[in-house]
Amino acid sequence: MRKLVILPLFFSVAALAGEMKSLRIGDEVPVFALKNHDGKEYSLNTILKESKLAALMFISTQCPVSNAYNERMVKLHETFSSAGVRFVGINSNKAESPDEITSHCKEHGFKFLVLKDDANKVADAYGAQVTPEIYVINQKGKLLYHGRIDDNRSVSKVESRDLTSALEALLAGKEPPRSETKAFGCTIKRVIQD
């Protein structure tokens, strides 16, 4: 008689993650058009034409790790937007509504776009797993940096400001010190696609 083996839940989640696309540094990224909380649509192509670099930030209204970075995201936007970096938040969590996103943006003083990724199609196309997770793209649509904002959720314990270092290098026409880092945070709560 055969033994029935029950695999733990993390195995099936890992298997699902393996089926998603995984972008590599230098890859041309998938283009998309998503709506802001007010219903206005924004396309990646337009965003790239209007900037030197685009920093796509997969974020959440409910994730404590993503929320620990709210002030840092505001500061990054303030620091780099005048140099031509366009910051764009993308919310792919199925349970976070446009109204909740609007309130969250106002509460935390976000001056950058936050777009709603219904059915997590953009997150799936990029292979985004957690919030926050960052993708920096040049005007030609090439991925130049992927990973975390920095190395610690607690701002007082940060030792490596990875996104800042990458943006400074890229704006100076140089390679980032590290083009890939390990993003950490809450998993994106996905709608499972057919």
Residue 4 maps to a domain: no
- Give domain status of residue 10, yes or no: no
Three-point CA angle 57, 79, 155, nearest 5°? 65
Mean pLDDT of the chain: 90
The tokens of 129 are what?
């797993």
Asked whether residue 54 is domain-assigned, the answer is yes
Please check whether residue 183 is in contact with residue 129, taking contact to mean a CB–CB distance below 8 angstroms.
yes
- Of 67 and 6, the structure prediction assigns the larger pLDDT to 67
Residue 166 has pLDDT above 90, yes or no: yes
Percentage of the chain with pLDDT > 70?
A: 88
> Is pLDDT above 60 for 1?
no
Residue 119 belongs to some domain of the structure: yes
Q: What is the pLDDT of residues 125-156, one digit of tens each?
A: 999 999 999 999 999 999 999 999 999 999 99
Q: How many domains, the chain?
A: 1
- Which domain covers residue 107, as residue numbers? 26-187
What letter represents residue 147's amino acid? G
Task: With cut-offs at 50, 70 and 90, classify the pLDDT of residue 38.
Answer: confident
Position 163, amino acid: L
Helix (H, G, I), strand (E, B) or coil at 193: coil
For the record, the structure tokens of 148 come out as 């975390």
CA distance 28 to 59: 22
Would residue 41 count as lying in a domain? Answer: yes
Give 3 or 158, the one with higher predicted confidence.
158
**Is 3 a domain residue?**
no
1 in any annotated domain? no
Identify the weakest region by mean pLDDT among 37-46, 128-137, 147-156, 167-176.
Answer: 37-46
Residue 6 covered by a domain = no
- Pairing type for strands 85-91 and 113-116 reads parallel
